[in-house]
Amino acid sequence: MSEKRVAMVSGASRGIGAAIAARLLEAGWRVSLGVRNPERLSPSAGDRLVCRYDAMDAASEKRWMEETIARFGRLDGLVLNAGIMIPKTVLEASEEDFDTTFAVNVKSPMRLAQLAWPHLEKAPAGRVVTLSSLSGKRVKSPGSSLYALSKFAVLALSHGLRQCGKESGVRATVICPSYVATDMGLALTSPDPATLTQPEDIAKIVHMVLDLPKTASISEIPVHYSVEDCY
Ligand SMILES: NC(=O)c1ccc[n+]([C@@H]2O[C@H](COP(=O)([O-])OP(=O)(O)OC[C@H]3O[C@@H](n4cnc5c(N)ncnc54)[C@H](OP(=O)(O)O)[C@@H]3O)[C@@H](O)[C@H]2O)c1
């Protein structure tokens, strides 16, 4: 078995996920990118595997896991990054808005963690890093409240995984950014993108967390592009 560690990154086609994949590859990891449209990315080569993953299609999660293990033979890190934001209040949201938001932001991450767990337990230092949001810590506006519901839930998923890994040494960390300069972040706010947290900044944090020993377990990392009252 190769010594090189292996990470799976969901939603690695653009934004934060693409930055995480690039950073890990540069640092010598082997990376399996889970994306909805693999044909839009350059094809798999060397340490970079591109697989189809759609959070709305549970069968694609299983295939992505199988393809990753078949290609690399191990899994050290799972990065639960893919996510959506429907800018509706909890009063406006339809059942469909709720179901879609929870399917992508909560249910699929939970299924992926379940599939990955046995492999992470076999790894010398299995890690799960989840992208929640500061909207998973506080509700800042009416329009972010549906999204916040799901981000509170996925924050709890990460804490649940952290508890599950206590004995085996699999560590789970949740990252909670404010606005990041990606398609999602820029659609929601108007400041100069250069003043926001950059996707590469989040990638640096994820890389650091994946590298930490099990004796330096970090449960949550809130990240703000400026300074907020609490965060
Ligand atoms: N940007 C921010 O300000 C911010 C702040 C806090 C937290 N976050 C969180 O950080 C994570 C990444 O956000 P981002 O800013 O990079 O967003 P983004 O630029 O909108 O990218 C979202 C990623 O998720 C993927 N995705 C969406 N729906 C999917 C589905 N059904 N199945 C598989 N992949 C799907 C997208 O794939 P396609 O390319 O196929 O659409 C894309 O790769 C999300 O969980 C988000 O909630 C973002």
Does residue 228 belong to any structural domain of this protein? no
Q: Is there an atom of ligand 1 within 6 Å of 36 CB?
A: yes
Is 1 a domain residue?
no
User: In the numeric block, which tokens belong to residue 87?
Assistant: 């800018």
Q: Which atom belonging to ligand 1 lies closest to the Cα atom of 17?
A: 16
Residue 191 pLDDT class (50, 70, 90 cuts): confident
> Taking residues 28-41, what's their average pLDDT?
98
Task: Confirm or reject: Cβ of 189 under 6 Å from ligand 1.
Answer: no
| Average pLDDT value for the chain | 97
Report, as an integer, the average pLDDT of 6-15: 98
Any domain includes 231: no
Q: What six digits make up the tokens of 99?
A: 């179901």
Strand (E) or helix (H) holding 231: none
Tokens standing for residue 194:
């250069």
Give 120-129 pLDDT, tens digit per residue.
999 999 999 9
Domain membership of residue 176 (yes or no) is yes
Residue to mutate, 35, 39, 182, ligand 1, most ligand atoms under 8 Å from C-beta: 182
pLDDT interval class at 2 (50, 70, 90): confident
Report residue 21's pLDDT band, with 50, 70 and 90 as the boundaries. very high
Q: What is the reported pLDDT for 189?
A: 87
CATH number at residue 176: 3.40.50.720
Closest to 91 measured CA to CA, from 152, 151, 134, 143: 143
Q: Which atom of ligand 1 is nearest to the CA of 199?
A: 16
Beta strands 220-223 and 171-177, pairing class: parallel
Q: Report yes or no on 168 lying in a domain.
A: yes
Q: Which amino acid is at 186?
A: L
The answer on pLDDT for 91 being more than 80 is yes
Q: Is the pLDDT of residue 58 over 90?
A: yes
Distance 16 CA to ligand 1 centre (A): 7
pLDDT score for 190: 84
Residue 35 has pLDDT above 70, yes or no: yes
92-134 pLDDT, tens digit per residue, is 999 999 999 999 999 999 999 999 999 999 999 999 999 999 9
Distance 167 CA to ligand 1 centre (A): 32
Domain hosting residue 155, numbered range: 6-223
Q: CA nearest 199: which of 6, 28, 9, 38? A: 9
**Segment 161-175, tens digit of pLDDT:** 999 999 999 999 999
Residue 224, pLDDT score: 97
Q: How many domains does the chain have?
A: 1
Examine residue 194 and state whether it is found in any structural domain, yes or no.
yes
3-state helix vs strand vs coil in the chain, percent to 5? 45, 15, 35
**Does the structure show a pLDDT above 70 at 1?**
no
Q: Give the tens place of pLDDT for each residue, 62-87.
A: 999 999 999 999 999 999 999 999 99
Q: Say if ligand 1 is within 6 A of residue 11 CB.
A: yes
In a domain? residue 229:
no
- Quick check: is 141 in a domain? yes
Query: Who has greater pLDDT, 210 or 3?
Result: 210
Q: Name the residues annotated as catalytic.
A: 147
